[in-house]
Chains A and B, each alone.
Chain A
Amino acid sequence: MQAAVVVFPGSNREVDAAKALEAAMGRPPEMVWHRDSELPKVDLIVVPGGFSYGDYLRCGAIAAHSPVLREVKARAKAGVAVLGICNGFQILTEAGLLPGVLLRNAGLGFVCRNVGLKVETSQSLFTSGYSQGQTLSIPVAHHDGNYFADGEMLDRLEDKGQIAFRYCDAAGGETSEANPNGSARNIAGVFNDTKNVLGLMPHPENAIEPLQGSTDGKALFKGIVEAFS
């Protein structure tokens, strides 16, 4: 399997993502600079966390118009797997690759903590390493992770199985206390309608070894690698 990590000025979890991929693939991914208008031939493109272009204007808005994103969009349309984490999720929604938007956290502040996540489906390239309904502990670290879409769109996403993860408590309850940012229907991650694009706010790349306090993120990367092997 071949993977690439897109690097924008202001990306800051590209190394964390690369390490998680390397652990799963056995070799490092290619790092692609934002000005490159050509991507290597890969099976997976990761758009990592951070503050692309400073996140001035609106989170992810400028990155969505960068040269490399044109290429990411074309690849996604051709069926290549694209994973957007945190700022990457914001960028993919801004670029129109994923439905909905990410607003300022309901509490208005940045929030960094481990959250409970419920796996909504194991029927995807990205979540095949999990079982449906499984609860995970994965950290979040963001200021604008409040997922929003109108009711009609949310219903449609649910009907078509496009919800990947929801925030939950230890017992799996999708409570408002377990929701760190006010996201609609506790949504933490969504797929596009062909399920080859996933965006999520939590950071599975920071939960891959015991010293990080949780290894629940590992199965996401391992599952992708297995799907391509």
Chain B
Amino acid sequence: MNKPVGAGTSEPAITPQIVAEHGLTAEEYERVLSIMGRVPSMTELGIFSVMWSEHCSYKSSRKWLRRLPTTGKVVIQGPGENAGVIDIGDGQAAIFKMESHNHPSFIEPYQGAATGVGGIMRDVFTMGARPIANLNALRFGAPDDPKTRHLLGGVVAGIGGYGNCMGVPTVGGEVNFHSAYNGNILVNAMTVGIADKNKIFYSKAAGVGNPVIYVGAKTGRDGIHGATMASAEFTEDSEEKRPTVQVGDPFTEKLLLEACLELMATDAIVAIQDMGAAGLTSSSVEMSSKGGLGIELELDRVPMRESGMTPYEIMLSESQERMLMVIKPEAREQARAVFEKWELDFAEIGRLTESGHLVLKMNGRVYADMPVAPLVEQAPVYERPHLPTPPAQAISSTSLPARDPITSLLKLMGSADLCSRRWVWEQYDHLVMGQTVVRPGGDAAVVRLERGPKGLALTTDCTPRYCQADPKTGGAQAVAESWRNLTAVGALPLAITDNMNFGNPQRPEIMGQFVGCVEGIREACLALDYPVVSGNVSLYNETNGKGILPTPAIGGVGVIDDVGKATTIAFKDAGEAIIVIGKTAGHLGCSLYLREIEGREEGAPPPVDLAAERAHGDFVRARIGARELTACHDLADGGLLVAVAEMALAGNIGASIALPKDVPAHAFCFGEDQGRYLVTAAKPKAESLLAAARAAGVPAAMLGETGGNALTLAGGNTISLNELRAAHEGFLPALMNG
């Protein structure tokens, strides 16, 4: 017979103050008391606190996330596991997820970003996949904010430092700047891995008596309460929370990756789960709850980096590069040999039981004995009040002054949100593994699969200013843009992961943004047959009561049968026809032109017509598949003329562009109408391309011709590529090195 929980331990008695410090409300604590039937021990309270934190329980978002479409013919595993899994044919599966590390990255940018990358890679290889590509979605404050340089430099170095050492190429991503992120940057990291469809590992524990194995790095006191920190608003003194940011060791993770994959090639593993947020707590609780079993751990056996750690600290530590496994008992020695080869800790720390309880012992004393099922199933779910965002005023392009488009173009190409990101991605090893076919700087990255010629196309996208002005349209636009970016390289978009970054959900207008974005994402996913298979929610992205722009970052994955057919944005040859697919109405509301040239951040975002989006995309993809296009670029931020300039700079070939009579020049050049692509084709093929578009009911129009070393508008207004390039390439180096 066990002694009563907590007997003989030196844990403090629970007081209302301790409960409050653990972020539990009075009602939540009442629920703890009713589940436990007694006052919890300190360790038990800590476990409730992290499991019921926003970060782990999704208590504000869960109700709405259920509305997202998560099934489809390619979906093998939707949300709820370490990462989503889709069928990419030929017996293979792509496993991917995007996750935020926003708060730690603001406090300590290098380590925050690095451990974000490390965490998401573990989520993917814990399912048996070898990571083949990393991406990210980053938002920083205004370029002139005194902290931006330090944060951008640190985050980029941290992402590179971890991913480069792991030998996984970082092939794509997005970086934006806005003052709304001055006090709360966003660092969202995505990893994509490949596994055989019949060799995917899950976290569902099975087999009473099976040993529970701890592998990887040792446990220290770092990161205690990370999940709770990620569930609270920032205040002036948040930087004092530095000790709760974990420190990453990519070398250990590289060993852990190789060791796990080596063991996974055998049939030793029953279940496996990485120790991410809330460390040993969430991994042990999730594995046992999914298996409907109990779990008993001897915490003395946990490999520890420092002496004197308490059960409370061991259970809440967020030390990196650790995994928890359930293995077949007869495989013990085989498994131990693999981890010893890779010089990693391997410790049998417990076993599965039929009690349904999580039991934690140390030095012969019982520190916790709590039922697993209610801890998970009775986690609070809130229906927070939500206020819809009032509709934004439409802005007529004719109400804006006519300006010289070339002058505006030069300014836009050198602006923070449109300038070249070369300074960023040259710090990422985007070539290791030797399979990167379309490198960073285009619409989507393309990586070839080991067996080739098949490949994956990958992108991350979101336009937060649209989400702010109209959450539903913005949510749909983020999904549509990722779909369009994958299409623009010739890939068939298959599924997405979403990283929902929002402010304080207890404010109805913020909750309204969340609800609106989810609705928009839902509609776009349904219309484009593009389900959500994994994701992450990051709330409380506020500093001193000021929220960020709503930022539902979308990570899209598509497949291309032959990477040799992938298109890039670069003009390939002089004398080719430039054709715009999709209708150009010249929508300037909420555009970068309006912000950068007119200094106005307002207006309704461009409408998203999902049926047109799909028709235009299917048309373009078919033309790429038939090798009829020589270059293709999605039209997005900055509009048509910015896209022409990007294509010209990428190919170092100029262009001459015609302007229509029915749309004002500034609106035609910089409007951000959706569902459009810019493509080039050899001139003799242009007519048949336009005819095919007409036949398919897809708007398409001749825009101009490639050639020369300048961009020239009808009427003779011109700018050299050299001048454009200097502005485009100069911004970030000047900001960071200046």
Which positions in A face B, CB cutoff 8 Å? Answer: 9-10, 12-13, 15-16, 19, 49-51, 53-56, 109-113, 139, 141, 143, 203, 205-206, 208, 211-213
Contact = CB atoms under 8 A, between A and B. Distances in A.
A141 B164 contact: yes
Nearest to A211: B437
B375 interface: no
Contacts of A208: 434
Nearest to A14: B167
Nearest to A12: B167
A170 to B, nearest CB: 11
A16 B433 contact: yes
A110 B563 contact: no
B251 A51 contact: yes
A10 B251 contact: yes
Contacts of A13: 167, 432
B55 interface: no
Contact of A12 (B157, B165, B427, B436): B165
A9 B342 contact: yes
Contacts of B426: 109-113
Interface string B428-453: 11111110110100000000100000
Contacts of B250: 51, 54
Contact of B167 (A50, A55, A139, A205): A50
B646 interface: no
Given A16-B432, A139-B431, A141-B432, A56 B564 contact: no
Interface string B341-371: 0110000000000000000000000000000
Contacts of B165: 10, 12, 50-51, 54-55
A113 B166 CA distance: 18
A56 B251 contact: yes
Interface of B: 157, 160-161, 164-167, 249-252, 254-255, 342-343, 425-434, 436-437, 439, 448, 563-564
6 contacts: A13-B167, A51-B165, A110-B161, A112-B427, A203-B431, A211-B564
A4 B599 CA distance: 62
Contacts of B439: 213
Nearest to A56: B251
Contacts of B157: 109-110
Q: Is the interface of B mostly helix, strand, loop or mixed?
A: mixed
Given A12-B166, A50-B167, A212-B434, 17 more contacts: A9-B251, A10-B251, A10-B254, A10-B255, A15-B434, A49-B432, A51-B164, A51-B165, A51-B251, A54-B249, A55-B165, A109-B157, A109-B427, A112-B429, A203-B431, A211-B448, A213-B439
A208 B430 CA distance: 16
Nearest to A111: B426
Contacts of B428: 110, 112
Contacts of A143: 164
B567 to A, nearest CB: 13
A206 B166 CA distance: 17
A111 B427 contact: yes
A211 B251 contact: no
Contacts of A16: 432-434
A53 B251 contact: yes
B545 to A, nearest CB: 36
B254 to A, nearest CB: 6
A6 to B, nearest CB: 15
Nearest to B166: A12
A83 to B, nearest CB: 17
**A-B residue pairs, 4 tightest by C-beta:** A12-B167, A54-B251, A141-B429, A51-B165
B674 to A, nearest CB: 32
Nearest to B249: A54
B103 to A, nearest CB: 25
A55 B251 CA distance: 8
Nearest to B455: A211
A13 B432 CA distance: 7
A59 to B, nearest CB: 11
Contacts of A109: 157, 160, 426-427
B434 A112 contact: no
A109 B439 CA distance: 19
A55 B67 CA distance: 47
Contacts of B251: 9-10, 51, 53-56
B131 to A, nearest CB: 12
B431 A206 contact: yes
A149 B165 CA distance: 27
Nearest to B564: A211
A147 to B, nearest CB: 19
Nearest to B344: A9
A222 B337 CA distance: 39
Contacts of B425: 112
Residue among A51, A112, A113, A205 with max Cβ neighbours from chain B (10 Å) = A112
Residue among A141, A205, A206, A211 with max Cβ neighbours from chain B (10 Å) = A211
Nearest to B425: A112
A12 B254 contact: yes
A19 B432 CA distance: 13
Given A12-B254, A53-B251, A56-B251, A205 B434 contact: yes
Given A54-B249, A141-B164, A211-B437, A9 B255 contact: yes
A112 B249 contact: no
Contact of B160 (A12, A19, A54, A110): A110
Contacts of B434: 15-16, 19, 205-206, 208, 212
Given A50-B167, A51-B165, A211-B448, A112 B431 contact: yes
A123 B434 CA distance: 28
A109 B422 CA distance: 13
A62 B161 CA distance: 19
Contacts of B431: 112, 139, 141, 203, 206, 212
Nearest to B563: A211
Contacts of B254: 9-10, 12, 51
A53 B448 CA distance: 29
Nearest to A180: B426
Nearest to B737: A107
A208 B267 CA distance: 36
Residue among A19, A139, A205 with max Cβ neighbours from chain B (10 Å) = A139
Contacts of A211: 437, 448, 563-564
Nearest to B428: A112
A48 to B, nearest CB: 10
Contacts of A112: 425-431
A155 B427 CA distance: 32
B479 to A, nearest CB: 29
A56 B247 CA distance: 15
B705 to A, nearest CB: 26
A211 B439 CA distance: 11
A54 B160 CA distance: 14
B457 to A, nearest CB: 14
A49 B436 CA distance: 17
A116 B433 CA distance: 21
